[in-house]
Amino acid sequence: MKLICLEEHVLDPTTAQASMPAALATAPYLPDWGKTVRDGNNPDRSRPQVIANTDSTRKGMDWEGERLADMDAAGITMQVLSLGGFPQYAPPADQPALSQAVNDRLAATVAAHPDRFAAFATLPWSRPDAAVKELERAVRELGLKGALLNGRPGDTFLDAPEYGNLLAVFNELQVPLYLHPGIPVPAVQAAYYSDFAPELAARLSMFAWGWHNEAGIHLLRLILSGALDRNPQLQIISGHWGEMLPFWLQRLDDSIPPAASGLARSITDTFKAQVYVSPSGMLTRPHFNFIYELLGAERILYSLDYPYQSLDGAHEFINALPVTDAEKAQIAHGNAERLLRL
């Protein structure tokens, strides 16, 4: 079975160096991950596992060599590459040039391995007007397949008025926006995830819960703002089985009907029409069963969250799904080929 994975990251040393001071000032707990616990020692190799941050950083910096070897070993046909880290924390004045350089390198990497890679652009998110220009360039000139955002674009979420033109360009170009987790609002992190041992607080704030709650709120705010009603061709990709939101849709509909939201559709109907969901390496059957019943196979993409997780069990999970072979093919590669026009 061909496997196309859509949440697979690269790292860029120049962007990382530019963004890290502000990221650390906002989230000083980031370095506490891995200080007392080293990931990657779980003996269960039936599914992807979090790997040590030193290993994931090394793999992320290697865009081709070790990555292609890992893909070959796991039987991964194609990765859709995207920039990891927190590029929106780079100085706003530097973000356009940084984004252009990364997107140029992404395009060159795809051109060197067109059967193995596609890519999502990174944008100068703190500069909405510049982000519009770079999205248009990345898609129209470089052939990138959309863009990925690692958390909030700045001090707000994308439903803020200044991002209206950018969302309209996604709609016009008919390319998806991948809403990836990112650093929680500092006041939320302090209130919800602190007062534990540093290692525990860091993990809870980041990839155990805080990042995902942040991404779910981001998507919910976009829906409630009417941004998807105004941009009916805009397709959002939400990883980690929808960042908690699908499991609460019925409650949201019951609590916020269109009479209260002012939306043209229910929250669930909007989600089903304009959101794709991907597992991001959370290859667990109960999650799949729920999402499949809610959305059907046609709204599920595949992803493993490389290099932050291992590639264990990628084929085994797809092969064992209790769906038809045609639906397995949709999830494994067909939906990605259609959405990204691969």
Report residue 93 as tokens: 């004045």
Neighbours of 28 (CB within 10 A): 13
Q: Angle, to 10 degrees, between the axis of helix 95-112 and the axis of helix 128-140?
A: 20
**Over 255-303, what HEC string results?**
HCCHHHHCCCCCHHHHHHHHEEECCCCCCCHHHHHHHHHHHCHHHECCC
Residue 228, helix vs strand vs coil: helix
C-alpha span between 258 and 82 (Å, rounded) = 35
- Bridge-partner residues for 10, per DSSP? 83
Establish whether 305 is a catalytic residue: yes
Q: What is the CA radius of gyration of the chain?
A: 19
Q: Which of 12, 39, 159, 305 is catalytic?
A: 305
In 3D space, the residue among 174, 200, 153, 226 whose CA is nearest the CA of residue 33 turns out to be 200
C-alpha span between 193 and 212 (Å, rounded) = 13
Active site residues: 305
